[in-house]
Amino acid sequence: MITGLMVLEAVLSIALIAVVVLQSGKSAGLSGSIAGGAESIFGGKRKGLDEILAKATIIIAALFGIVTMVLVKLMQ
C-alpha cells in the first residue's frame, strides 16, 4: 500500500508541475500591473484553458497534500 501511494504521489507531483508550467504567465512590468489591476476592478475573467488549468491546479495540489499526509501517518 505504501508503494502504491508513493507512486501516486510521484504521478501527482509530475502532474502538478506540468499544470503550473502550462498556465500562461502574468504580464511583466508596469503596464502589466496596471492592466492586472484594471481587470480585477472591472471583473475581468480568465478564459478557456487558463480557467481549466487553475481548477486542475487546486484539485491536484489538494490530492497531493492528502496523499502526503497519509504517507506520513503510515510511515510512523
Q: Looking at per-residue confidence, does 68 or 29 come out higher?
A: 68
Buried b (16+ CB within 10 A) or exposed e, 21-34: eeeeeeeeeeeeee
Is residue 23 within 8 Å of residue 50, measured between CB atoms? yes
Nearest Cα neighbor of 62 from 26, 2, 19 is 19
Nearest Cα neighbor of 46 from 26, 74, 76, 67 is 26
| pLDDT(36) > 70 | no
Which pLDDT does position 52 carry in this prediction? 94
For the stretch 51-64, pLDDT in tens is: 999 999 999 999 99
Q: Tell me what the pLDDT averaged over the chain comes to.
A: 84
Handedness of CA 14, 20, 23, 27 (dihedral sign): negative
Global pTM exceeds 0.85: no
The grid coordinates listed for 57 are 491546479
Q: What is the mean pLDDT of residues 27-51?
A: 62
Q: What is the mean pLDDT of residues 33-55?
A: 70
